[in-house]
Structure 1
């Protein structure tokens, strides 16, 4: 206990070094932090006064990681609003539905093929269905594609995916954490979860004037104390109702997203989101025994292959339905490929509920591979499109098209 602060400080220093390295290499920070957590931990050596096993501080690091999840989901809730989805148009709803359904169905089939029980299969399907908002946003910025024709649809699909995540976690929380065994009990648990979620949607739509008045606080110090106190209370209260604490945070963010204070809250939350979020990925890696990863290797690779296929197909369908070119449609599927924070949150729900231990190494490997491979595929999208175009003959080469008098069919 005497070395607790020093151990936590050592962990944070390692996180800082890994973050700097990821920044220099212009690669997502998520795989770096997960790998770092896996390398250190109980199997790491102690060098002098530096103890990299983090045995004494494991609980506090894990708790800080849980705070990271709350801030992450709270921020997503602030970014999302019911009005945005309503105004986003049919293309986003169609594209998001195709994306979620195709990935979810493939996850269900895959879970059944590897002979997983029902709840584990549902968790696997959920893991395969949610992309990483953080990585997708970073890819769009890093590749300077924020002004591309497909970017609005990409962001809309990610937004729709976040909404699916909220519903999925609410339902699965009722099933897994509600302790219900009979059909009536299960329906009651799911009903409570859905009703609780609906309550926040109603608050977001009709309670905005009251929230504006309550949060009309001049002092930033008092303002942040009030908001964060409510955040942690609501997250804890949600858990009492057997709704995942992360979803409680997301719903609270949703309720505040329509207020005039939302931008002010976002600016105050971002540093906490980034700091504690980094601890979350590190703590997740810390809980994984690298020696167990081999047991899930082939299963994770199979899931990665299916995810790549499902993403390219759903991106192509969504893009073409929206009137985008084959090239832009290919970009959609490759950009939303990465898996990260939300996949881990879904996996953690199953782990917390006492499901198969294999979920932990599987989720770690699955996220690691796609967190690295996703941005790389997006970066090489031009070459991938060229290769696919040679197979499917979507468009004619520019030179040949010009000679034949074609103009509209040539991909830009």
Structure 2
């Protein structure tokens, strides 16, 4: 618990501002309320929860590996179109995408093992690594994702058990690993016998740019474990995710899951499976991508208009986040406290320092800005207020 105390506190901050109605929040990574298929799920639930339907199955214990037809959905709708040719034996259903990360670490990570992570990286996964007393080592990134030369150098120096990467519309930076670098990661994993934990929950909400195959597509030696999620494309409250890996790895993870929570909740699995099987997903997918494109554009346009000269931001082709680097040595942790407490500003975001596992002050002038759950007018107003506060601090410096 001492080992994970720092990241646990950072993660608590992820959710703090999401429930305050008085704050314009760019902090949480939740989907837009308009992206939740409430009416469709209500109709499906009414049809499913009948004794002559799937009601008994939905309320009973189920298979450890997950409901068969939902695993078929993952293979048919989410993996094969992205270049991953596998069967249901290569897929298990998890309680959210995060559980896939946890199960893989329980199966393969011992205290003291080195896990390579991106700089910055998704702090909630670092919390898992800390809990299991692994040692995180950062790999440098640029606008095309993690840098293969630095990755290989860190592999040679630290002999890691695993690389954790979030290659598509990365949380927190919004960056996407280039095609050439995806191939390079798979090749380095094979050459150095290193596991790759590919966390790809945002891959399916691309709304501009060229679609790229996952790292798993280039994995010919079963070194890549891919974790996905239904949180952003169906419902985060359903707590549904999946893992794709070789059959032997899946069976190991099933064993770990049996000792964790027996199986993923049956009702949301069945509702999600029916949602896809009955053909609701394509129109839903288009609608949410159109929605997030509009909000992304509003965020980037507002940052360019209202933030001071010298501020830089990423330009994501999908996902829910952009990463902002401020000029003038501004400490975004202090800025967040002031911004959230000042009634004239009332804007929340996530300070950048907590996303760097080295904890050496890197990212102090950075922030993660989420645009997914905020309407366009509030995006512009919130960025305008925040930009004014930043400009005033630069003028006082």
For CA contacts below 8 A with separation 6 or more, give which structure has more relative contact order: 1
- TM class, shorter-chain normalised? under 0.3
Looking at secondary structure, tell me which structure has more helix per residue: 1
Looking at secondary structure, tell me which structure has more strand per residue: 2
TM-score by length of 2: 0.28
TM-score by length of 1: 0.27
Structure ID, larger Rg: 1
